[in-house]
Amino acid sequence: MNIQGKLVEIYAVQNVSDRFRKREFVIEYADNPQYPQFIKFEFIQDACEELDKYQVGQDVNVEFNLRGRKWVNPQGQAVYFNTLQAWRLSPAAATAVPEAPGAVPPPPAEPPFITNDDSGDDLPF
C-alpha cells in the first residue's frame, strides 16, 4: 500500500526492548483539503534511520504494510491492535517544475492548417 502526504511530525527512536526499536512519524493526508487526516506510521529496527533524510513540511510518499494483532488481557478479553508499518519513504514527485524568475514561457503551439475548400481537386493522386 502507499499514500502521499506532508510530513508533520517525526518522533525520536523508541527502544521498546533490547532487540526491538521503532520510530513513529505522522503525515497529513489531504485527499479532501477541507478535512485533512493525520496518520501515524512507524519504522522498525534498522529502518528507523530512514527518517533522518527528511524534514517536517516535506511532501513524501509512504509505502507501508497494514498489520494487526490480537492480545488477550489478564481478564480474558481479546484486544486488537492495528499498525501502519512503513517500509519505504521517498520524496513526492513534483507535479510542476517551478519557473526561474524572468523566464519566458514557450510560445503556444500553432493550430493545424485546415482548409475550407470542398472542391475535392486538391487530392495528390
**Complete domains list, the chain, with CATH:** 2-91 (2.40.50.140)
The sign one gets for the Cα dihedral 116, 120, 122, 125 is positive
pLDDT score for 93: 81
> Is 0.75 topped by the overall pTM?
no
| DSSP H stretches of helix in 42-124 | none
Give me the tens of pLDDT residue by residue for the chain, a chain 125 residues long: 999 999 999 999 999 999 999 999 999 999 888 999 999 999 999 999 999 999 999 999 999 999 999 999 999 999 999 999 999 999 998 544 445 555 555 555 544 444 555 555 555 54
Residue with cell 509505502: 63
CA–CA dist 93, 85 (Å, integer): 22
Comparing CA positions, the residue from 1, 2, 10 lying closest to residue 54 is: 10
